Amino acid sequence: MKIVVCVKQVPDISQAKVDPETYTIIRTGVDAVVNPFDLYAVEAALQIKDNLPQTKVTAISMGPPQAEAALKEVISMGVDDAILLSSKHFAGSDTLATSYVLSKAINQIKDVDLIITGRQAIDGDTAQVGPGIAAHLNLPLVTDVNGIVEIKPDELKIKAMTEEGYLYYFLPLPALISIGKGIGEPRMPSLRNKSRARKAIIPVWTPEEIDAEYQKIGLKGSPTQVVKIFTPEVGGEVLFIEGEPPQQAERMVEILGQRHII
């Protein structure tokens, strides 16, 4: 089986501090990491490879040259090879343009049986890129997949999460799935794969290599525009409920009642 995993590099939120005045996240000086859901996506691909050893897993990422680090990281987990999509022409892409670029790259890789993305990226939080790629490529789509129950070379049985519970599907390949946390913890890099990652030479593809139309990428290809960014209003100080537990509990319940919350 031939699998492509889409991996995005995002700022590491755990290093970000909360501004004590505005309660907003301070992002300066924050390192970049692989989007957490994309590590689960890689894990899903590797679970399939565990079952079908002839499987080849390729990771792709669209981003600045530094995003190479994210691709090396997933190679160290066991991904076979990786391609970086990087060009100033890609800069400013919204989800429509991003999913176009990724779908063109997948076309270029050829004969891909399964495309795996994360459920969502933690910076943009849109969960739109996976379905967008599926739409560009006209492929069947199941989102928020939290378990791969059965693996066959031309069909998967999968479990997807929704607000109502878990949905089970037979999914014929080729197809696209987006992955949630339930798939299982991402595996640790092995020594062998780490050294493979160090030595890996990651090709960089520009719009030329993937035959992308300039009108459809970057800012030009992005119908959405951010016109304003602002910080939301935050609540005031915390009120400490004093006393021993029985008084604390009574007082708390009283306040919630007065505020018509309960």
Ligand X SMILES: Cc1cc2nc3c(=O)[nH]c(=O)nc-3n(C[C@H](O)[C@H](O)[C@H](O)COP(=O)(O)OP(=O)(O)OC[C@H]3O[C@@H](n4cnc5c(N)ncnc54)[C@H](O)[C@@H]3O)c2cc1C
Q: Is 220 in the site for other proteins (CB under 8 A)?
A: yes
CB of 196 to other proteins, least distance (A): 27
Task: Provide the residue type at 106 as one letter.
Answer: I
Which of 3, 121 has the CB closer to other proteins? 121
> First and final CA of the chain: distance in angstroms?
54
Q: Is 235 in the site for other proteins (CB under 8 A)?
A: yes
What span, in angstroms and rounded, lies between the C-alpha atoms of 262 and 257?
5
Look at residue 55 and give the partner it binds from other proteins, ligand X, ligand AMP, none, a contact being a CB closer than 5 to 8 Å depending on partner kind. Answer: none
Q: Is 68 in the site for ligand AMP (CB under 6 A)?
A: no
- Report the residue from 152, 153, 170, 204 that binds other proteins according to the rule CB under 8 A: 170
Question: Between residue 175 and residue 204, which ones bind other proteins under the rule CB under 8 A?
Answer: 175, 180-182, 185
Binding residues for ligand X, rule: CB under 6 A, are: 14, 36
CB of 70 to other proteins, least distance (A): 17
Look at residue 62 and give the partner it binds from ligand AMP, other proteins, ligand X, none, a contact being a CB closer than 5 to 8 Å depending on partner kind. Answer: ligand AMP
**Which whole-number Å values give the CA distances from 65 to 11, 87, 247, 252, in the listed order?**
15, 8, 58, 53
**Which whole-number Å values give the CA distances from 217 to 59, 66, 114, 123, 221, in the listed order?**
20, 20, 24, 20, 4
The token duo for 13 is 């939120």
- Report the residue from 44, 49, 55, 61 that binds ligand AMP according to the rule CB under 6 A: 61
CB of 260 to ligand AMP, least distance (A): 36
Tell me which stretch binds ligand AMP (CB under 6 A): 119-127, 134-142, 185-193, 228-236. 119-127
Q: Is 64 in the site for other proteins (CB under 8 A)?
A: no
Q: Is 51 in the site for ligand AMP (CB under 6 A)?
A: no
Give, to the nearest 10 degrees, the angle between helix 36-51 and helix 68-77.
40
Residues sharing a CB contact under 8 Å with residue 9, sequence separation 6 or more, in sequence order: 32, 33, 34, 35, 61, 63, 66, 67, 69, 70
The token duo for 117 is 């993305």
